[in-house]
Amino acid sequence: VVYGVRPGHPIIYRVPVTGLRPMKISIAAKNAKCAKNRSECLCVLCGRKITFNPATQVLTGSIDEPGNYPLTIFAENAKGKAEKTLTIKVGEKISLTPAMGWNSWNCFSWNVTAADVRKAADAFEKTGLADHGWSYINIDDFWQNKPKSWMKDLHGPVRDGNGKINTNKRFPDMKGLVDYLHSKGFKAGIYSSPGPKTCGGCEGSWQHEAQDAEAYAEWGFDYLKHDWCSYGDVATGEGIERAMRPYRIMGEALKAQNRDIVFSLCQYGKDNVGCWGMKVGGHSWRTTGDVFDRWSSIVNAIKVLKTQWRYAEPGGWNDPDMLCVGPMCWNEFKGSRLAPNEQYTHISLWALAAAPLMIGCDMTKLDDFTLSLLRNDEVIAIDQDPLGKAAACIVDKRSYDIWARPLADGSIAVGLLNYGMEEREIVFDMHAAGMEGEWKVRDCWRQIDEGMVTKVYRTRVYGHATHLVRFIPGNNAKLRFRDIREGR
């Protein structure tokens, strides 16, 4: 597990630990002799500025000196003991793995309130999602004022006399709300637009970028989604520079703050954003327009990912939009219109793509099936793999795809996607992909071992489903090619 932070900036990390409670959790400097007092060893390692609260599982503080700080997480309950390494990487690069969390838009859209946001955070704890690594709680549009709105609680001046942006009546204490999220170890996200107005017609950040970045930092936010919206009405310049300029301005404003703020570019994949997203300070960028809970929408997003995989790396990620699972609300609350197998494909391909995972449903109404999708640690581990190399489509047929992604431990994540309506056999020619020797196959969704294979892997895949497996090196296993994604 890796966590990136800039020197001297706040660390907020909720340690995800699953298992039977009660549980004893502690953290110490890796390889230090900490049998008597692990907390003391932790402080010595990090300049006495890091603390861990085992009751809340929250690690906080800051580290001034750049470098890698490996820590060992210890967990013990009635069933046994476990430990894992967490490396805090202090430097100029953050967002070393894709963000995982929740966004308010797909369930609350223009009706979102501070109470809804608090309930989402509480649900992260109640459902156990927090112990599987879900950590961002993001407010989308409509936290600002919109004087001409039919909703009276959005009425009021959009900025104060000094130009600082105002919150609407639904968010009377933004700092208090963010403090509440931080107290649970969660990170807080907010939304704006480089244009004069957001997509919903609320106040945007145009010509107030520095002021707004300061406000976000003052409130304690850790994430900004910056949505193109009305910027086209005021944009200047030509070509790529026209697209880059507003994000560069806000990117510089965010980087000037005294805390890390992950910068999510939302301009729908236009202007080859993957080539320049990181150059303007972005940590993720949308690859498409909005994705909906329709099979055709998911397929279109997957097709775009086929051309974008080279742009993903630690610190910068392709974002094919939010997850369309669970009870959402476009006019009325309902379950996802995606069939169960389509939801497996949806999350499998997002994980293979090393994409941000943002839940978009009402967290208080999660059903068992949706929870099983979101709490599968083996699938999450593929998405969060610290090597940060997104999958490429290495077999591209009209009726099926095979995607492959190298992982940090030397294993390979492979997704076999069936576009057809009927179940079919898909054959993966491992030898042609450069895989030699024996490999153990692990079914990630079912969490079972399938056995050892050589040369060829065959499996049957249901219609619209994806069989997500991990190939783990066995006897004489090696890869002929430098990168399985490129076949050379």
Model pLDDT for residues 97-110, shown as the tens digit of each residue: 999 999 999 999 99
The catalytic residue among 116, 153, 290, 443 is 290
Catalytic annotation present for 385: no
Could you tell me the pTM of the whole model?
0.96
Q: What pLDDT sits at residue 10?
A: 98
Q: What pLDDT sits at residue 244?
A: 98
Asked if 70 contacts 86 with a C-beta cutoff of 8 angstroms, the reply is yes
Catalytic annotation present for 290: yes
Per-residue confidence of the chain (488 residues) as pLDDT tens digits?
Answer: 999 999 999 999 999 999 999 999 999 986 554 444 555 445 545 555 899 999 999 999 999 999 999 999 999 999 999 999 999 999 999 999 999 999 999 999 999 999 999 999 999 999 999 999 999 999 999 999 999 999 999 999 999 999 999 999 999 999 999 999 999 999 999 999 999 999 999 999 999 999 999 999 999 999 999 999 999 999 998 999 999 999 999 999 999 999 999 999 999 999 999 999 999 999 999 999 999 999 999 999 999 999 999 999 999 999 999 999 999 876 577 889 999 999 999 999 999 999 999 999 999 999 999 999 999 999 999 999 999 999 999 999 999 999 999 999 999 999 999 999 999 999 999 999 999 999 999 999 999 999 999 999 999 999 999 999 999 999 999 999 999 999 85
Task: Give 129-133 contacts, CB < 8 A, sequence gap 24+.
Answer: 129/371, 129/374, 129/375, 130/14, 130/16, 130/184, 130/185, 130/186, 131/16, 131/17, 131/18, 132/16, 132/18, 132/374, 132/375, 132/377, 132/380, 133/16, 133/100, 133/380, 133/384
Asked if 190 contacts 178 with a C-beta cutoff of 8 angstroms, the reply is no
Q: What pLDDT sits at residue 35?
A: 44
Region for 75 from its dihedrals, namely left if φ exceeds 0, alpha if ψ lies in -120 to 50, beta otherwise: beta
Domains of the chain (ranges plus CATH)?
Answer: 2-90 (2.60.40.10), 100-383 (3.20.20.70), 392-479 (2.60.40.1180)
Q: What pLDDT sits at residue 138?
A: 99
The Cα 483–Cα 478 span in angstroms is: 11
Q: Which residues of 142-164 are buried (b: 16+ CB within 10 A; e: fewer)?
A: bbbbbeebeeeebeeebbeeeee
What is the β-pairing status of strands 58-61 and 50-53? antiparallel
Q: What pLDDT sits at residue 287?
A: 98
What is the β-pairing status of strands 456-461 and 424-429? antiparallel
The catalytic residue among 131, 227, 260, 319 is 227
Q: What pLDDT sits at residue 330?
A: 62
